[in-house]
Amino acid sequence: MQNFTLKNAPLQKGKLAIVTGANDGVGFETSLGLLSKEAKLIMACRNPEKANNAIIKLKKAFPKAEIEFIQLDLSKLSSVKSFVKEFKQKFNKLDILINNAGIMVPPFSKTEDGFESQMAVNYFAHFLLTGLLMNELEAADKARVISLSSIAHKRGKIDFDNLNAEKNYNKSAVYSQSKLACLIFAYELDRKLRNAKSSVISLAAHPGVSATNLFENMPKLATKIVMTLSKPLLNSPKAAALPSLMAALDSEVESGDYYGPSGFMEMSGKAAKANSKPQSHNLETAKKLWEVSEKLVGFKFEF
Protein backbone atom coordinates (compact mmCIF):
# COMPACT_ATOMS: atom_id res chain seq x y z
CA MET A 1 0.00 0.00 0.00
CA GLN A 2 1.27 3.48 -0.85
CA ASN A 3 1.89 5.67 2.16
CA PHE A 4 2.97 8.94 0.61
CA THR A 5 4.92 11.57 2.50
CA LEU A 6 6.78 14.43 0.90
CA LYS A 7 9.78 13.65 3.09
CA ASN A 8 10.15 10.16 1.62
CA ALA A 9 9.41 11.15 -1.98
CA PRO A 10 12.36 10.85 -4.37
CA LEU A 11 14.49 13.87 -5.29
CA GLN A 12 13.67 15.41 -8.70
CA LYS A 13 17.07 16.91 -9.54
CA GLY A 14 17.26 17.65 -13.27
CA LYS A 15 13.50 17.37 -13.71
CA LEU A 16 11.39 20.18 -15.09
CA ALA A 17 7.83 20.83 -13.90
CA ILE A 18 5.11 23.21 -15.07
CA VAL A 19 2.42 24.15 -12.55
CA THR A 20 -0.50 26.23 -13.82
CA GLY A 21 -1.87 28.66 -11.22
CA ALA A 22 1.36 28.25 -9.23
CA ASN A 23 1.14 31.64 -7.51
CA ASP A 24 -1.57 30.86 -4.96
CA GLY A 25 -3.51 28.24 -2.99
CA VAL A 26 -2.95 24.59 -3.85
CA GLY A 27 -0.70 25.45 -6.82
CA PHE A 28 1.64 27.50 -4.63
CA GLU A 29 1.92 24.69 -2.06
CA THR A 30 2.43 22.16 -4.87
CA SER A 31 5.24 24.36 -6.17
CA LEU A 32 6.87 24.47 -2.73
CA GLY A 33 6.68 20.68 -2.56
CA LEU A 34 8.30 20.26 -5.98
CA LEU A 35 11.06 22.75 -5.12
CA SER A 36 11.73 20.91 -1.84
CA LYS A 37 12.56 17.94 -4.07
CA GLU A 38 14.87 20.09 -6.23
CA ALA A 39 12.76 20.09 -9.39
CA LYS A 40 13.08 23.11 -11.67
CA LEU A 41 9.77 24.98 -11.75
CA ILE A 42 7.97 26.87 -14.50
CA MET A 43 5.25 29.02 -12.99
CA ALA A 44 2.44 29.27 -15.53
CA CYS A 45 0.41 32.19 -14.15
CA ARG A 46 -1.76 34.92 -15.62
CA ASN A 47 -0.66 37.82 -13.42
CA PRO A 48 3.08 38.77 -13.54
CA GLU A 49 2.92 40.75 -10.30
CA LYS A 50 1.33 37.89 -8.36
CA ALA A 51 3.79 35.44 -9.93
CA ASN A 52 6.77 37.61 -8.92
CA ASN A 53 5.47 37.94 -5.36
CA ALA A 54 5.09 34.17 -5.20
CA ILE A 55 8.63 33.69 -6.55
CA ILE A 56 9.97 35.91 -3.75
CA LYS A 57 8.24 33.67 -1.18
CA LEU A 58 9.37 30.46 -2.88
CA LYS A 59 12.96 31.72 -3.08
CA LYS A 60 12.83 32.65 0.58
CA ALA A 61 11.98 29.03 1.39
CA PHE A 62 14.45 27.59 -1.14
CA PRO A 63 17.13 30.19 -2.02
CA LYS A 64 18.82 27.91 -4.58
CA ALA A 65 15.56 27.01 -6.31
CA GLU A 66 15.40 27.24 -10.10
CA ILE A 67 12.17 29.05 -10.93
CA GLU A 68 10.95 30.70 -14.12
CA PHE A 69 7.74 32.54 -14.85
CA ILE A 70 6.07 32.21 -18.24
CA GLN A 71 2.79 34.05 -18.57
CA LEU A 72 -0.31 31.94 -19.20
CA ASP A 73 -3.89 33.17 -19.20
CA LEU A 74 -6.02 30.06 -19.50
CA SER A 75 -9.08 32.05 -20.49
CA LYS A 76 -7.47 32.60 -23.91
CA LEU A 77 -6.38 29.85 -26.28
CA SER A 78 -4.04 32.42 -27.88
CA SER A 79 -2.24 32.72 -24.52
CA VAL A 80 -1.92 28.91 -24.24
CA LYS A 81 -0.26 28.94 -27.68
CA SER A 82 2.12 31.79 -26.85
CA PHE A 83 3.01 30.14 -23.51
CA VAL A 84 3.91 26.91 -25.32
CA LYS A 85 5.86 28.83 -27.98
CA GLU A 86 7.99 30.51 -25.32
CA PHE A 87 8.42 27.23 -23.43
CA LYS A 88 9.62 25.45 -26.58
CA GLN A 89 12.13 28.22 -27.31
CA LYS A 90 13.75 27.53 -23.93
CA PHE A 91 13.24 23.83 -23.25
CA ASN A 92 12.99 20.60 -25.22
CA LYS A 93 11.60 18.25 -22.59
CA LEU A 94 9.07 18.36 -19.79
CA ASP A 95 8.89 15.87 -16.90
CA ILE A 96 5.84 17.01 -14.94
CA LEU A 97 2.80 18.98 -16.07
CA ILE A 98 0.34 19.88 -13.32
CA ASN A 99 -2.89 21.27 -14.75
CA ASN A 100 -3.84 22.95 -11.48
CA ALA A 101 -5.31 26.42 -12.13
CA GLY A 102 -9.03 26.80 -11.73
CA ILE A 103 -11.96 29.10 -11.07
CA MET A 104 -15.26 28.32 -9.39
CA VAL A 105 -18.80 29.69 -9.82
CA PRO A 106 -18.05 33.10 -11.37
CA PRO A 107 -20.88 35.11 -12.90
CA PHE A 108 -21.57 34.03 -16.48
CA SER A 109 -19.07 35.17 -19.05
CA LYS A 110 -17.92 33.97 -22.43
CA THR A 111 -14.26 33.91 -23.40
CA GLU A 112 -12.99 35.31 -26.69
CA ASP A 113 -12.94 31.72 -27.99
CA GLY A 114 -16.66 31.33 -27.24
CA PHE A 115 -16.33 29.10 -24.15
CA GLU A 116 -18.09 29.57 -20.81
CA SER A 117 -15.27 30.78 -18.49
CA GLN A 118 -15.11 27.80 -16.07
CA MET A 119 -15.06 25.32 -18.94
CA ALA A 120 -12.42 27.46 -20.67
CA VAL A 121 -10.01 27.86 -17.73
CA ASN A 122 -10.50 24.56 -15.90
CA TYR A 123 -10.84 22.25 -18.86
CA PHE A 124 -10.45 23.39 -22.50
CA ALA A 125 -7.23 25.39 -22.01
CA HIS A 126 -5.59 22.52 -20.12
CA PHE A 127 -6.70 20.10 -22.86
CA LEU A 128 -4.93 22.25 -25.46
CA LEU A 129 -1.91 22.92 -23.23
CA THR A 130 -1.34 19.18 -22.74
CA GLY A 131 -1.75 18.48 -26.45
CA LEU A 132 0.71 21.18 -27.48
CA LEU A 133 3.30 19.92 -24.97
CA MET A 134 3.01 16.23 -25.92
CA ASN A 135 6.33 16.12 -27.85
CA GLU A 136 8.23 17.63 -24.91
CA LEU A 137 6.52 15.18 -22.52
CA GLU A 138 7.45 12.28 -24.81
CA ALA A 139 11.05 13.55 -24.85
CA ALA A 140 11.34 13.13 -21.06
CA ASP A 141 11.82 9.87 -19.17
CA LYS A 142 8.37 8.72 -17.97
CA ALA A 143 6.78 12.18 -17.87
CA ARG A 144 3.60 12.73 -15.85
CA VAL A 145 0.50 14.79 -16.66
CA ILE A 146 -1.65 15.54 -13.61
CA SER A 147 -5.20 16.86 -13.99
CA LEU A 148 -6.93 18.53 -11.04
CA SER A 149 -10.45 17.35 -10.37
CA SER A 150 -12.69 17.81 -7.31
CA ILE A 151 -15.18 16.00 -5.10
CA ALA A 152 -17.65 18.20 -7.04
CA HIS A 153 -17.11 16.00 -10.12
CA LYS A 154 -19.49 13.53 -8.47
CA ARG A 155 -22.37 15.97 -8.99
CA GLY A 156 -21.25 16.63 -12.56
CA LYS A 157 -22.83 15.65 -15.84
CA ILE A 158 -21.37 16.28 -19.28
CA ASP A 159 -24.23 18.09 -20.96
CA PHE A 160 -23.25 17.97 -24.63
CA ASP A 161 -26.29 20.06 -25.56
CA ASN A 162 -25.28 22.84 -23.19
CA LEU A 163 -21.51 22.31 -22.82
CA ASN A 164 -20.71 26.03 -22.71
CA ALA A 165 -23.92 27.09 -21.01
CA GLU A 166 -25.39 28.14 -24.36
CA LYS A 167 -28.95 27.45 -23.15
CA ASN A 168 -28.74 28.28 -19.45
CA TYR A 169 -26.09 28.89 -16.81
CA ASN A 170 -26.17 27.01 -13.52
CA LYS A 171 -22.77 28.03 -12.16
CA SER A 172 -22.27 25.13 -9.71
CA ALA A 173 -23.44 22.59 -12.27
CA VAL A 174 -20.95 24.00 -14.78
CA TYR A 175 -18.13 23.92 -12.20
CA SER A 176 -18.95 20.25 -11.49
CA GLN A 177 -19.11 19.55 -15.22
CA SER A 178 -15.68 21.17 -15.74
CA LYS A 179 -14.13 19.07 -12.97
CA LEU A 180 -15.75 15.88 -14.30
CA ALA A 181 -14.37 16.79 -17.74
CA CYS A 182 -10.85 17.10 -16.22
CA LEU A 183 -11.16 13.62 -14.71
CA ILE A 184 -12.58 12.05 -17.87
CA PHE A 185 -9.70 13.69 -19.76
CA ALA A 186 -7.12 12.18 -17.37
CA TYR A 187 -8.59 8.67 -17.81
CA GLU A 188 -8.98 8.96 -21.60
CA LEU A 189 -5.45 10.34 -21.94
CA ASP A 190 -4.23 7.35 -19.92
CA ARG A 191 -6.01 4.91 -22.30
CA LYS A 192 -4.67 6.68 -25.39
CA LEU A 193 -1.10 6.80 -24.03
CA ARG A 194 -1.22 3.09 -23.13
CA ASN A 195 -2.54 2.19 -26.60
CA ALA A 196 0.27 4.20 -28.15
CA LYS A 197 2.80 2.49 -25.82
CA SER A 198 3.91 5.96 -24.74
CA SER A 199 6.25 6.43 -21.80
CA VAL A 200 4.10 9.38 -20.62
CA ILE A 201 1.57 8.68 -17.88
CA SER A 202 -1.67 10.48 -17.00
CA LEU A 203 -2.93 10.88 -13.45
CA ALA A 204 -5.57 12.89 -11.63
CA ALA A 205 -5.77 14.40 -8.17
CA HIS A 206 -8.17 16.39 -6.03
CA PRO A 207 -7.26 18.49 -2.97
CA GLY A 208 -10.31 17.76 -0.81
CA VAL A 209 -11.68 21.01 0.57
CA SER A 210 -9.38 23.90 1.45
CA ALA A 211 -10.25 27.51 2.22
CA THR A 212 -8.43 29.18 -0.69
CA ASN A 213 -9.33 32.07 -3.02
CA LEU A 214 -11.28 29.55 -5.08
CA PHE A 215 -14.29 30.44 -2.92
CA GLU A 216 -14.13 34.17 -3.71
CA ASN A 217 -17.28 34.05 -5.84
CA MET A 218 -19.36 32.39 -3.11
CA PRO A 219 -21.55 34.53 -0.81
CA LYS A 220 -18.98 35.92 1.67
CA LEU A 221 -20.83 35.56 4.99
CA ALA A 222 -22.34 32.13 4.30
CA THR A 223 -18.95 30.81 3.12
CA LYS A 224 -17.22 32.20 6.19
CA ILE A 225 -19.75 30.52 8.50
CA VAL A 226 -19.58 27.18 6.69
CA MET A 227 -15.78 27.28 6.56
CA THR A 228 -15.52 28.17 10.27
CA LEU A 229 -17.94 25.42 11.32
CA SER A 230 -16.31 22.81 9.14
CA LYS A 231 -12.72 23.92 9.88
CA PRO A 232 -11.76 20.65 11.60
CA LEU A 233 -12.81 18.77 8.45
CA LEU A 234 -10.88 20.99 6.02
CA ASN A 235 -7.44 20.58 4.51
CA SER A 236 -4.83 23.30 4.88
CA PRO A 237 -3.55 24.40 1.44
CA LYS A 238 -0.31 22.57 2.28
CA ALA A 239 -2.13 19.29 2.95
CA ALA A 240 -4.43 19.94 -0.03
CA ALA A 241 -1.36 19.87 -2.30
CA LEU A 242 -0.34 16.37 -1.18
CA PRO A 243 -2.56 14.43 -3.64
CA SER A 244 -1.06 16.41 -6.56
CA LEU A 245 2.42 15.88 -5.12
CA MET A 246 1.76 12.17 -4.67
CA ALA A 247 0.72 11.93 -8.33
CA ALA A 248 3.81 13.91 -9.36
CA LEU A 249 6.41 12.26 -7.16
CA ASP A 250 5.45 8.87 -5.74
CA SER A 251 7.42 6.04 -7.31
CA GLU A 252 4.54 3.54 -7.12
CA VAL A 253 1.93 5.48 -9.13
CA GLU A 254 0.34 3.87 -12.15
CA SER A 255 -1.06 5.70 -15.12
CA GLY A 256 -4.79 6.29 -14.62
CA ASP A 257 -4.54 6.61 -10.82
CA TYR A 258 -6.64 9.28 -9.08
CA TYR A 259 -5.45 10.65 -5.73
CA GLY A 260 -7.19 12.65 -3.02
CA PRO A 261 -7.33 12.98 0.77
CA SER A 262 -8.35 9.79 2.58
CA GLY A 263 -10.25 11.33 5.54
CA PHE A 264 -13.98 11.92 6.09
CA MET A 265 -15.71 12.26 2.71
CA GLU A 266 -12.27 12.77 1.12
CA MET A 267 -12.29 16.36 2.43
CA SER A 268 -8.95 16.16 4.25
CA GLY A 269 -6.31 13.78 5.49
CA LYS A 270 -3.44 11.78 4.06
CA ALA A 271 -3.16 11.43 0.31
CA ALA A 272 -4.35 8.09 -1.08
CA LYS A 273 -6.25 6.61 -4.02
CA ALA A 274 -9.56 8.50 -4.41
CA ASN A 275 -13.01 7.44 -5.55
CA SER A 276 -14.49 8.66 -8.78
CA LYS A 277 -18.04 8.22 -9.96
CA PRO A 278 -18.86 5.63 -12.65
CA GLN A 279 -19.56 8.30 -15.28
CA SER A 280 -15.92 9.36 -15.16
CA HIS A 281 -15.04 5.92 -16.56
CA ASN A 282 -17.75 5.91 -19.26
CA LEU A 283 -15.94 5.18 -22.54
CA GLU A 284 -18.63 6.60 -24.80
CA THR A 285 -18.73 9.93 -22.94
CA ALA A 286 -14.92 10.06 -22.93
CA LYS A 287 -14.70 9.46 -26.69
CA LYS A 288 -17.34 12.06 -27.44
CA LEU A 289 -15.87 14.66 -25.08
CA TRP A 290 -12.40 14.16 -26.60
CA GLU A 291 -13.72 14.61 -30.14
CA VAL A 292 -15.76 17.69 -29.22
CA SER A 293 -12.78 19.17 -27.35
CA GLU A 294 -10.39 18.65 -30.28
CA LYS A 295 -12.89 20.35 -32.55
CA LEU A 296 -13.58 23.28 -30.23
CA VAL A 297 -9.93 24.05 -29.40
CA GLY A 298 -8.85 23.40 -32.99
CA PHE A 299 -6.12 20.90 -32.15
CA LYS A 300 -5.81 17.17 -32.81
CA PHE A 301 -3.63 14.96 -30.59
CA GLU A 302 -1.37 12.57 -32.50
CA PHE A 303 -0.57 9.27 -30.87
Q: Where are the alpha helices (DSSP H) in 133-199?
A: 134-139, 171-195
Distance CA 161, CA 84 (A): 31
Of 140 and 189, nearer to ligand NAP (C-beta) is 189
Segment near ligand NAP (CB under 6 A), from 101-109, 154-162, 165-173, 280-288?
101-109
Distance CA 116, CA 98 (A): 22
- Amino acid at site 68: E
Burial 280-298 (b: 16+ CB within 10 A, else e): beeeebbeebbeebeebbe
Distance CA 283, CA 165 (A): 23
Distance CA 64, CA 265 (A): 39
Q: In whole angstroms, how close is the CB of 109 to ligand NAP at the nearest point?
A: 11
Contact set for ligand NAP, span 192-211 (CB under 6 A): 206-207, 209-210
Of 67 and 121, nearer to ligand NAP (C-beta) is 121
x-marked contacts with ligand NAP along 17-36 as a string, rule CB under 6 A: ---xx-xxxxx---------
Residue pair 272/176 in contact (Cβ under 8 Å)? The answer is: no
130 forms part of the interface with ligand NAP (CB under 6 A): no
41 forms part of the interface with ligand NAP (CB under 6 A): no
Distance CA 221, CA 269 (A): 26
Segment near ligand NAP (CB under 6 A), from 96-104, 223-231, 274-282, 286-294?
96-104
175 is catalytic: yes
Q: Which of 33, 102, 156, 243 binds ligand NAP (CB under 6 A)?
A: 102
Of 80 and 140, nearer to ligand NAP (C-beta) is 80
- Amino acid at site 98: I
Residue with the closest Cβ to ligand NAP? 25
Q: Give how far Cα 218 sits from Cα of 66, 164, 224, Å.
A: 36, 21, 10
Catalytic residues: 175
What residue ranges bind ligand NAP (CB under 6 A)? 20-21, 23-27, 45-47, 50, 72-75, 100-103, 121, 148, 150, 206-207, 209-210, 212-214
